[in-house]
Amino acid sequence: MEFTFTAKDDNDYTILFDDDGYEISVYKTGQKLGSISLDLRDEDGDWEHYHITHLALDGCKGIGIGQRCLELHKEIFDTPLTAGRSNAGQQNDGSHLTGDGPAFIAIMRKKGIVSP
């Protein structure tokens, strides 16, 4: 699935989703600027959700693209999103948060886009 998003910098970006919801890619004029990887999980057969395992939007951060990617993912796949924590140490699945990740995810949790 492909969407065009006009970011805060007034430029248009293409947001691509794979069919299974495992990968979100962001492009501008054909050049890949970043991606978000997710893993579909089912906790004890009770709670299905997508867990963010890799957040790499350095080429397009601070202009609303990350938030829009996660909002669209929730709308398309109608499944909650979760993310790791910065104080959880290195995770084998890559879901530990580094750099700007903890602050970004905190904002997404506050807005209700990512589950607490």
What pLDDT does 89 receive?
47
């890949």: which residue's tokens?
32
Q: How far apart are CA 50 and CA 7, in angstroms?
A: 24
Question: pLDDT digit string (tens) for 19-70?
Answer: 999 999 999 999 999 999 999 998 777 789 999 998 999 889 899 999 999 9
- Which token pair is 112? 């209700």
**What is the end-to-end Cα distance of the chain in Å, rounded?**
27
- Model's pTM, two decimal places? 0.88
What sign does the dihedral 105-109-110-116 (CA atoms) show?
negative
